[in-house]
């Protein structure tokens, strides 16, 4: 059976092979997700949420803390459990050069601390280009990304460039391509929910190319992105199969049990034993599954955010799982 046959079989058995292009019949949880994603970009709602008496424990379910010391504390604990780490200094939509420069300085300091504490080898840094000036000037974001990559390389660490909403996809992929000329280990991120991503996987799916594949955590229009969960899952499998077929290094970023299982099957049946890949999951979500995979001999990397700008990140995590939303709302009610 060829790779395309395997991809079709895995997709068809789990979700059916014919995707839908509409969001007809959306569930209440899907509607809630849309509201939360909308709220993640609204400053007026942000002010209300940030000023609410949310306990530190609620935020720290998903965020390591506000400082580099907090990030290193969590990194040490996860590393001790056999997990690898991706550290994200929270920040996005930067609109001034000073803030962008501060983000670069934070990453450079983080890289040095990782080296000093012997944590660099199993830890990468995840960088959102909008945090380092992408909205101001693409060349500024490129220069700043290179500075972070230089610091990571000197420390013995690496960098993955995060992906944000569809309006930045072309710019982000251009910058990744340029950065990789000097720093070829730099990871890219693709979002399976976007219609364009299968073609992007064919472009990036080459030997040595590190690609984190996620479903996508942004509210995107139906004209550009799959809306139904099963359609997104099916697209994820097709994209992952393309990366594996191209002998890229796929980093399957998912908590979905069906996609975790599909990833293992695709790797086994398309690439065979010894094919390098990893699973990635978010800090605070499905830790038992993270440990189960490690015990099974898999490489698992935990995405650990830290910093004071936690609002947008937290709202997107609420949107991903109703259980997360319930946890957050219970904390609000209990403190009020």
CB distance 220 to 194 below 8 Å: yes
The DSSP line for 157-190 is: -EEEE----GGGHHHHHHHHHHHHHH-TT-BEEE
The DSSP line for 5-38 is: HHHHHHHHHHH-S---SS-TT--HHHHHHHHHHH
Give CA–CA dist 320/189, Å, rounded: 18
CB distance 230 to 256 below 8 Å: no
Q: 96 an active-site residue?
A: no
HEC profile of 74-87: HHHHHHHCCCEEEE
Give the number of residues written for the chain. 336
Residue 43 burial by CB count (10 A; 0-12/13-18/19+): exposed, middle or buried? Answer: exposed
Give CA–CA dist 140/125, Å, rounded: 19
From the list 88, 162, 165, 231, the catalytic residue is 162
CB atoms within 10 A of CB 137: 13
From the list 33, 180, 210, 212, the catalytic residue is 212
CB atoms within 10 A of CB 117: 12
Look up residue 116 and give its two tokens.
């000093």
Q: Give the closest residue to 234 by CA, choosing from 5, 16, 4, 21.
A: 16
Question: For residue 122, what are the contacts with CB-CB under 8 A and spacing of at least 6?
Answer: 79, 84, 85
Residue 122 burial by CB count (10 A; 0-12/13-18/19+): exposed, middle or buried? Answer: middle
Q: 57 an active-site residue?
A: no
Residues identified as active-site = 162, 212
């Amino acid at each position: 059976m060829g790779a395309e046959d395997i991809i079709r079989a895995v997709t068809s058995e789990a979700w059916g092979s014919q995707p839908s292009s509409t969001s007809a019949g959306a569930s209440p949880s899907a509607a809630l997700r849309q509201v939360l994603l909308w709220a993640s970009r609204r400053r007026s709602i942000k002010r209300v949420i940030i000023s609410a008496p949310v306990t530190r424990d609620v935020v720290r379910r998903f965020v390591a803390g506000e400082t580099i010391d907090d990030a290193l504390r969590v990194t040490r604990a996860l590393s001790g459990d056999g997990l690898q780490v991706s550290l994200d200094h929270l920040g996005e939509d930067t609109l001034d050069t000073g803030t962008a420069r501060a983000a670069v300085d934070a990453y450079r300091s983080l890289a040095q601390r990782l080296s000093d504490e012997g944590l660099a080898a199993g830890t990468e840094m995840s960088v959102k280009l909008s945090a380092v000036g992408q909205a101001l000037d693409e060349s500024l974001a490129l220069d700043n990304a290179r500075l972070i990559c230089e610091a990571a390389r000197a420390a013995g660490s690496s960098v993955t460039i995060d992906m944000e909403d569809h309006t930045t996809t072309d710019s982000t992929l251009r910058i990744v391509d340029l950065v990789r000329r000097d720093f070829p280990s730099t990871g890219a991120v693709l979002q399976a929910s976007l219609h364009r991503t299968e073609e992007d996987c064919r472009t990036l799916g080459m030997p040595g190319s590190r690609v984190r594949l996620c479903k996508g955590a942004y509210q995107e229009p139906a004209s550009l992105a799959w809306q139904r969960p099963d359609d997104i899952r099916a697209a994820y499998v097709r994209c992952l199969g393309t990366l594996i077929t191209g002998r890229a290094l796929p980093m399957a970023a998912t908590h979905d049990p069906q996609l975790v299982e599909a990833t293992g099957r695709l790797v086994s049946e398309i690439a065979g034993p010894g094919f390098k890949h990893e699973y990635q999951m978010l800090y605070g979500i499905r830790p038992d599954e993270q440990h189960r995979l490690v015990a099974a001999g898999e490489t698992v990397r935990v995405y650990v955010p830290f910093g004071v700008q936690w609002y947008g990140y937290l709202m997107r995590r609420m949107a991903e799982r109703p259980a997360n939303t319930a946890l957050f709302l219970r904390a609000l009610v209990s403190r009020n």
